[in-house]
Structure 1
């Protein structure tokens, strides 16, 4: 494996840390996030911190967690990736602003049917 072969991609949770470690010695024209040594340093530092602080090695994401910032951005009309729960929260928030399902669909960049699918059936007549 050559020194320029990427070990992990830019979506990795430690990509920014590894890149900062690598900034001092890599070429600005490099297309990799970081070299293997800098990735290893970032991962080892992260592991050491978790052990010192007694943090669990694996985190189980809460399926009901709502990222309020993502919902705020989506409600402003920005294209944001939302979980099913966050999408439902965004629809509910916009319904609270008396927006129609069609207007909500446009704001969230989704189909009308996607919006209707998360509105409780007993409220469909009231929402339309």
Structure 2
């Protein structure tokens, strides 16, 4: 997912690769794709493979939080559209909106405010 090759991800999943596998730090394939700005892979995982969108890593980051920190408004919009929790807290108590303010992710902050995030 991190390399950005949708065909590779599709190929792996055709051999029954597990979507719920996590790294040592708790990141799943969707969080990794969001972290590295892989919009098409995020869409595929959510819309075609129905990956769990609410998974959080060991620090409490979900795919929306990862997209916010990466300042990727397209992925933020996708996550919001598909119901990724907008009020999820990291282990430091930060919501995606707080992360957007801290990381100067203005467009992501705007999307979160429009979605009624606090």
Would you say same fold, with TM above 0.5? no
TM-score by length of 1: 0.30
* Greater radius of gyration (CA): 1
